[in-house]
Amino acid sequence: MRGRGRRVGWFGLVLGLALALCLVFLTLPIAAIFLEAGPAELLSSLGSAQALEALWVSLLTTTIALAVILLVGTPAAYLLATRSFRGRAALVTLVELPLVVPPAVAGIGLLAAFGPAGLLGGAIEGAGVRLVFVTAGVVVALVFVASPFYLRQAQAAFEAVDPTWTAASRTLGAGEARTFARIAIPAAAPGLGAGAALAWGRALGEFGATLIFAGSLQGVTQTAPLAIVALFGTDFDAALALSAVLVAVAAALLATVKLLTRGRGPTEGAGLAPR
């Protein structure tokens, strides 16, 4: 083969080595969670009241947050995707801002806006609502940090819907609302699903903003990530077990995203009409 087949050059070796390093570095800590404690140990450690309560708080708050995000985010993203107006680009950037704001800063911001001494604190208290140190506060923090993930993906998904479909729907007697519900949403569904999974994943892992804005009260505002921090000094096995659950859920969400956006570009939404 010498002289015919191309030898692997030094640069190829460098590339391979770099990838191998990435792979080991990125997967080893995840694998270690499962290797450190056996499945039986994991299960028994999950029996701890604190871990179970934290999982329940996480499930409850992320579900409510996701419902809020879908309910408000879907029409908002549709508007951004289908109308052109002055300042639209600036608006899109503003909506994406929470993506790059550090979570701790997000928590401070939420306190400054909705906290008892915040901008709207008086109004919120006047309405008889408390957000700080209660479960509802966790939902507020989660919606703040997770909704941009959904908005971005949903906007891309709606932009990819063939505009002649919505035009055809209108000429067939359907108003704007019916066109949105019957044509745009089903056509964009895979992209919307992927966005929802991304937002849910982000909400599930939320830590900083929740801690600052809602605190870490066991059974009330202590979500799974907060419980891991609280537990790892006292009950490392329980912390490991909770981590394992979060890894499993995160992996399932990632697989969902990949499945829903299969065959499409990474930034592209979904629902491209067949042509």
Partner 1 sequence: MLRAELAVALREFELRVELAVESGRGLAVVGPSGAGKSSLLRVLAGLLRPDAGRIECDGESWFDAAAGTDLPPERRRCGFVFQDYALFGQMSAWRNVAYGLGHLRRRERRGAALELLDRFGIAALAEARPAAISGGERQRLALARALGSRPRALLLDEPLAALDASTRGAATRELRRLTAAAGVPTVLVTHDFTEASLLAEEIAVLERGEIVQRGDAETLAARPVSAFVADLTGAVVLTGRALAGAGGGGTEVALDGGGTALTAEPAAPGPVAVGVHPWEIALEPAGAAAHGSARNRLAATVTSVTAVGGRVRVALDAGQPLVAEVTTASRDELGLRPGAEVVAVWKASATRVVPAPGAGLL
* Residue 161 φ/ψ, nearest 5 degrees: -75, 130
To the nearest whole angstrom, how small is the minimum distance from the Cβ of residue 164 to partner 1?
4
To the nearest whole angstrom, how small is the minimum distance from the Cβ of residue 68 to partner 1?
27
Total of residues contacting partner 1 (CB under 8 A): 20
Residue partners of 54: CB distance under 8 A and separation at least 6? 218, 222, 223, 224, 226, 227, 242
Q: Is 38 in the site for partner 1 (CB under 8 A)?
A: no
Q: Which residue's CB is nearer to partner 1, number 34 or number 170?
A: 170
Q: Which of these, 94, 60, 89, 73, lies nearest to 203 by C-alpha position?
A: 60
Q: Is 74 in the site for partner 1 (CB under 8 A)?
A: no
Q: Which residue's CB is nearer to partner 1, number 19 or number 273?
A: 273
Q: Which residue's CB is nearer to partner 1, number 183 or number 239?
A: 183
Q: Which residue's CB is nearer to partner 1, number 187 or number 211?
A: 187
* Residue 107 φ/ψ, nearest 5 degrees: -60, -45
Per CB under 8 A, which of residues 236..275 are in contact with partner 1?
273-275
Environment class of 6 (CB within 10 Å of its CB; exposed 0-12, middle 13-18, buried 19+): exposed
Q: Residue 116 carries which side chain, given as an amino acid letter?
A: P
Per CB under 8 A, which of residues 163..202 are in contact with partner 1?
164-165, 167-176, 182-183, 186-187
Q: For residues 58 and 214, is the Cβ–Cβ distance under 8 A?
A: no
Q: Which residue's CB is nearer to partner 1, number 171 or number 234?
A: 171
Q: How far apart are CA 168 and CA 51, in angstroms?
A: 53
List interacting residues with partner 1 (CB under 8 A).
Answer: 162, 164-165, 167-176, 182-183, 186-187, 273-275
